[in-house]
Amino acid sequence: MINRLFDKIKIVVLTALFVTTVSAAGQVERPKLVVGLVVDQMRWDYLYNYQWGEGGFKTLLQDGYLCNNTIIDYVPTVTAAGHASIYTGTTPAIHGIAGNNFMIHGKNVTSVQDDSERGVGGNEKTRGKSPRNLITTTIADQLQLATNFKSRTVGIALKDRAAILPSGHHPVGAYWFDKGSASFVTSTYYMDKLPNWVADFNKKHHDELSTDLNNLPMGAIMTFALAEQALINENLGRGEATDMLTISVSNTDMCSHYYGTHSPKVDSIYWQLDREIAHFIQVLDERIGRGNYLLFLSADHGGTHSYPRMTSHGLPSGCWHNPDALVAANEVLKERFGVDKLLKEEMEYTFYLNHDAILSARLNYDEVMRAACMALEEPEEIQWAIDVANIDSYPIPTILKERIKLGYFPNRSGEIYVVPRTGVYAGKTEWAGSNHGSWSQSDSHIPLIFMGWHITPGETSRLTHMTDIAATVCAMLHIQAPNGCIGTPVFP
C-alpha cells in the first residue's frame, strides 16, 4: 500500500518536473520590438562622408555593429527588389519581385500592383496594391508563425512598394503616401477604412503633406512622424509577442534622381534624416527601452554619381538612354527581319522579346535573339547584351553571371539583360541626377548596422550580403528564416 502510494507520488513529481522543463525550454528570449529602417539609395560611404550630429547616425555608428562590406548579389539593383530581398533573405530569382516593374502573363505591372484590390483613403478609385506578387515569406511573416500569429507588424513609407513588401503578407497595416490626395493611404488588401489615427494624422498634417515631400526634408519628417504614431496607436512592442515596425525613407532616392548625389537638396534631406533618427531612437528608448528593441539600418541599393559630377573632375562615366536603345534596336531588327517592334519592352536593363510578333511572322526565335543582342551591344556604353537562358555560354566574369541569374525570374524578367560599361548608368549626359540598377560597387555596396537588443558594438569588413539581414534577425530571434532565405547569419 505504502509502495503504491510512493509510486503515485513519484509519477506526479516526475510529471511536474517534465512539464516545468518543457515550459522553460519553450520560453525563448526575444526583444519586444524589431525595427527595420531602410534608406532608399543610400550609398555605404555616406556613413562616413557626412559629419553627423548627436544621437542619430552617430549613435548607430558608436553603439551598433557595422558590416562595412555588405553587397547586393543580384541585378537589377532597384527599390522593389531591394526591399523584398532585405526582408525575405533571398533574391528576385526566388522571391519573384524582379524589379520595380516587370511582366506577369505578358502584362506590364508594378511590383505591388493588384487589380483585385482598390485604394483606401485619398482617391479610393485608384488601383489597388498588395504584397501578392511576393511569393516568399518575410521576417514579419515568420514572426507571426513563431508566435501563433500574436506578433504585429506595421509598414510605413512614402513609396507604396517600400511600405508593402517589408511588412509581409499579414501586417496590421501598411501605409504609403498618395500625392494626388496629399495623404497617407492603404489598400483593401489590409482594411476597408483607414484607422482613426491615420485619418487624424492626415488631417492634422494637411499643410505639411501638401508640400514637395519628394525633394524636401519634410518627406523624412512626415515618414518618421507617422511611424511614431504607429508605434503608439498600435501599441507595438507592448504585447506578449515580438512586434515589428518597418520604415523606409523614400525621398533620399527621389531627390537624388532629380538633383544628384551630394547636391545641396540631397544633403539637406540627410541632415534632417539624422535628426529624425536621433528623435526616433529617443522615442524607442523611452517607450520600449534600449535593451528591449533590435534595430537594423540598411539600404535597398546605392547610387551612381551623375555624369556631370564625374566628368567635371576627369573621372570616367557615361550615360545610356534606354528608350532610345529600344527604338534603335527595333529599327535594326526591322531592317533584318521586316517586322516592326520585335523587342516589346525595356525595363531596368532588361529587354522583352515580342513573342506574338515572332510567332506571327514565323521567325526563328534563336535568330531573332542573336540579332537583338548584337543590336543592343552596338552602343559603346554597352559591354554585353546577354541571352539569359544561355548565359553560361557567354565569356563574362562568373560573378556577373551569378548576379544576373540571381535577379532573373522566369516569365517576369526580360529575356535579354544588358550590362553597361562600368560607371555607365541609364540616363542622359545633361541629366544632373544620379541613378542605380547596375552591378557596380556604386549601386551594390550598401550600409548595414545592427543596434540594440543583444548587439555588442563593433564592426567587420568581411563580405556580407543583403540576404544575410533576414537570416541574422531570424537567427537572433530563434525563429525559422523566411522560406526562400539563402542568407547566412552575420553573428556566429
**297 neighbors 455 (Cβ within 8 angstroms):** no
Instruction: Round to whole Å and give the CA distance between 417 and 419.
Output: 7
C-alpha cell at 124: 479610393
Q: Which of 60, 93, 52 is nearest to 75 (CA)?
A: 93
**420 neighbors 298 (Cβ within 8 angstroms):** no
Tell me, what amino acid is at 361?
A: A
Neighbouring CB atoms inside 10 A of 253's CB total 27
**62 neighbors 459 (Cβ within 8 angstroms):** no
Instruction: Round to whole Å and give the CA distance between 246 and 223.
Output: 11
Instruction: Round to whole Å and give the CA distance between 306 and 288.
Output: 42
Choosing from 59, 70, 77, 79, the catalytic residue is: 79
Evaluate the CA torsion angle 8, 13, 19, 21 in order and state its sign: negative
C-alpha cell at 143: 514572426
- On the 0-12 / 13-18 / 19+ scale of CB atoms within 10 A, 5 is exposed
Looking up cell 543580384 gives 74
Q: Does the annotation mark 422 as catalytic?
A: no
Neighbouring CB atoms inside 10 A of 323's CB total 9
**443 neighbors 303 (Cβ within 8 angstroms):** yes
Instruction: Round to whole Å and give the CA distance between 399 and 384.
Output: 14
C-alpha cell at 491: 553573428
C-alpha cell at 339: 517586322
Neighbouring CB atoms inside 10 A of 36's CB total 27
Neighbouring CB atoms inside 10 A of 392's CB total 9
**360 neighbors 373 (Cβ within 8 angstroms):** no
**183 neighbors 203 (Cβ within 8 angstroms):** no
Residues that are catalytic: 79
